[in-house]
Amino acid sequence: MLVLRLLNVVAPAYFLCISLVTFVLQIFLFIPSMFRDPSTTPLFSPALLHGALFLFLSANALGNYVLVIQSSPEDLGKGLNLGKGAEMVADWLDGSRSPGSALPNTHFCRLCARVTQRHDHHCFFTGNCIGSRNMRNFIMFCLYTSLACLDSLVAGMAYISAALSMSFANPLAFLTLLPHSISQFFSGALLSSEMFVILMLYLWLGIGLACAGFCCHQLLLILRGQTRYQVRKGMVIKARPWRENLQEVFGKRWLLGLLIPVLNVGSDYRRQKEK
């Protein structure tokens, strides 16, 4: 548990550090290298379009990241006399202490120490639980993070291609880039800044693929009306049309959420409580 709590603090700092490094490389290295003659650069040049695209992707990724943290799943255990200690609360919600009395679709997170509605999982990179209130923002965060990493990967490859006078037309060139660059770095033929960019290329590739795969997995679960917690526990859910499952998570303003970071529409439990 101590290791998990430490990871819950280190992982967000690691993500913010990677985001800051990516922003600095893009703004001060990759984009300026695309300008051959700034005085004659047209308004809709590839460099300016790339810069605008990167800023759009970064703003959406960081905006949804902040909304995931701010829109924390509501603690349904507040005000309930469930006994003393987290263990008794967890037993009550799992139904082991009082069968049939547990709240439906709820889970007690030991790291957050709260009961959440439609709990999916605990995200260490946000230090927060993912539930009904912030699921849409979490998916948008994963989507735009993967796109921003892909954009940085392409820009970094273009920079390395020009700096080292090499071509990535052969797919094996990227696979052999790292070992070849390490040998050149220790022999003094490669600058430390260029070696750092090459290492970042593989980091962007890994983060981008991981976020894209996680986003696709979450969308498949949403289409089926399930959460990761329900799948892990083998819970049986009532089958519903996939359109209703999507609308429950993304709401009626789903197109607006694709363009700018907006708050989630809220869970069914919250709407019922407001009524």
Question: Which of the residues are catalytic?
Answer: 123
d(CA 94, CA 104): 10
> Is 54 within 8 Å of 148 (Cβ atoms)?
yes
d(CA 140, CA 257): 8
d(CA 161, CA 115): 51
CB atoms near residue 218 (< 10 Å): 21
> Is 261 within 8 Å of 67 (Cβ atoms)?
yes
Sorted by sequence, the CB contacts under 8 Å of residue 164 that are 6+ apart come out as 190, 194
In Å, how far are 26, 92, 138, 173, 266 from 72, measured between CA atoms?
31, 22, 11, 44, 11
The string of DSSP codes covering 36-73 is S-GGG--TT-HHHHHHHHHHHHHHHHHHHHHHHHHSPP
> Is 29 within 8 Å of 51 (Cβ atoms)?
no
3-class state of residue 102 by DSSP: coil
Number of Cα atoms under 13 Å in the Cβ half of residue 173: 11
CA quadruple 221, 222, 223, 229: dihedral, nearest 10: 40
Closest Cα to residue 103, out of 87, 82, 85, 120?
A: 82
